[in-house]
């Protein structure tokens, strides 16, 4: 019974957590939720101006910022090392950075767009997990009790018309999470995956009102999620309440189906 929290709870108090894609949307909602629950959070995104403004009341004892590019291994490695330099360790990583081009028919989608989607969604998740795990192992815990959350999509539960590249990339993200749970267990690091459905973010706003209504009609609650509802699942996976959960994929999409 080694490395089992004495009293597993849903708390992340005292944990140091990296959140990518954290300038707005689900990522920023997660930052705020983690901070409210006592975590120290390190943010990264291509641009963090909005997050810096919204979190201006927090000081360097609770929050850290560094612009970074998840598709650039050197950049995201620097981000993870900066988190450890500021807070002394890294306990969790939420791989939230992602990209979508909205609905676009297969025959109108370019190879360059496919490459860009996979660069951010797949390569970015791979590189961030790699850098984060190295920083976790270098932390005082040696990785024990640490946790990684991969962010896939409801689109990775079925084929999505008009979203070939996005759907393929999010299927791949789930595959990475399953492999991560097997490979990093030797260090005591857990890896899990969430599949958000329609969520009230800027990405969702790129769809036409008709498409938004159609998407919402395919889930049982007939509405998009608030970003904080997705962030709650992220928090649970990072917390000790999920200490025996690894290699799992959690649907956070209100039963959304394509029909």
Q: Where exactly are the structural domains of the chain?
A: 16-251
Whole-angstrom Cα Rg for the chain: 17
For residue 243, give both structure tokens: 């200490």
For residue 32, give both structure tokens: 């705020």
Three-state secondary structure call for residue 131: helix
Residue 92 pLDDT exceeds 80: yes
Residue 159 pLDDT exceeds 50: yes
pLDDT recorded at residue 9: 67
Least confident of 38-42, 99-103, 132-136: 99-103
Longest CA pairwise span in the chain (Å): 55
What is the value of pTM for the model shown? 0.93
For residues 9-27, average pLDDT: 94
Q: Which residues pair with 36 in a beta bridge?
A: none
pLDDT recorded at residue 190: 98
CA distance 159 to 214: 16
What number does CATH give the domain 16-251? 3.40.50.720
200 secondary structure, DSSP code: S
- Phi/psi at 42 (nearest 5 deg)? -115, 125
Q: pLDDT band for position 1 (50/70/90)?
A: very low
Q: Encode pLDDT of 116-146 as tens digits.
A: 999 999 999 999 999 999 999 999 999 999 9
Query: Which helix H or strand E contains 193, and what residues bound it?
Result: strand 190-196
pLDDT recorded at residue 7: 55
Three-state secondary structure call for residue 114: helix
**What's the half-sphere exposure (Cβ side, CA atoms, 13 Å) at 231?**
25
198 secondary structure, DSSP code: S
Q: pLDDT band for position 93 (50/70/90)?
A: very high
* β 40-44/63-65 pair status: parallel
Q: Encode pLDDT of 213-223 as tens digits.
A: 888 888 989 99
pLDDT recorded at residue 211: 83
Q: Which residues are annotated as catalytic? A: 166
For residues 55-79, average pLDDT: 97
**What's the half-sphere exposure (Cβ side, CA atoms, 13 Å) at 162?**
7
Mean pLDDT value across the chain = 93
At a CB cut-off of 8 Å and minimum separation 6, what does 40 contact?
14, 15, 16, 17, 61, 62, 63, 64, 87
141 or 101, which is more confident? 141
119 secondary structure, DSSP code: I
- Of 205, 123, 111, the C-alpha closest to 165 is 111
Residue 256 pLDDT exceeds 90: no
């Amino acid at each position: 019974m080694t490395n089992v929290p004495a009293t597993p709870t849903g708390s992340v108090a005292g944990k140091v957590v990296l959140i990518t894609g954290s300038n707005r949307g689900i990522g920023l909602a997660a930052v705020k939720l983690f901070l409210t629950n006592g975590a120290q959070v390190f943010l990264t995104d291509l641009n963090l101006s909005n997050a810096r403004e919204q979190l201006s009341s927090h000081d360097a004892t609770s929050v850290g910022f560094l612009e970074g590019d998840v598709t650039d291994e050197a950049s995201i490695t620097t981000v993870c090392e900066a988190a450890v330099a500021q807070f002394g360790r890294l306990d969790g990583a939420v791989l939230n950075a992602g990209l979508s081009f909205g609905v676009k028919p297969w025959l109108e989608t370019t190879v360059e767009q496919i490459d860009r989607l996979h660069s951010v969604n797949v390569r970015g998740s791979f590189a961030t997990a790699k850098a984060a795990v190295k920083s976790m192992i270098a932390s005082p815990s040696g990785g024990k009790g640490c946790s990684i959350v991969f962010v896939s999509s409801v689109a990775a539960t079925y084929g999505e018309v008009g979203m070939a590249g996005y759907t393929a990339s999010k299927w791949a993200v789930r595959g990475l999470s399953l492999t991560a749970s097997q490979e990093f267990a030797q260090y005591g690091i857990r890896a899990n995956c969430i599949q958000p459905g329609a969520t009230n973010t800027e990405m969702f706003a790129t769809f036409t009102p008709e498409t938004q209504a159609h998407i919402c009609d395919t889930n049982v609650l007939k509405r998009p999620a608030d970003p904080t509802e997705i962030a709650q699942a992220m928090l649970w996976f990072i917390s000790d309440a999920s200490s025996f959960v690894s290699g799992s994929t959690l649907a956070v999409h209100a039963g959304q189906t394509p029909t």
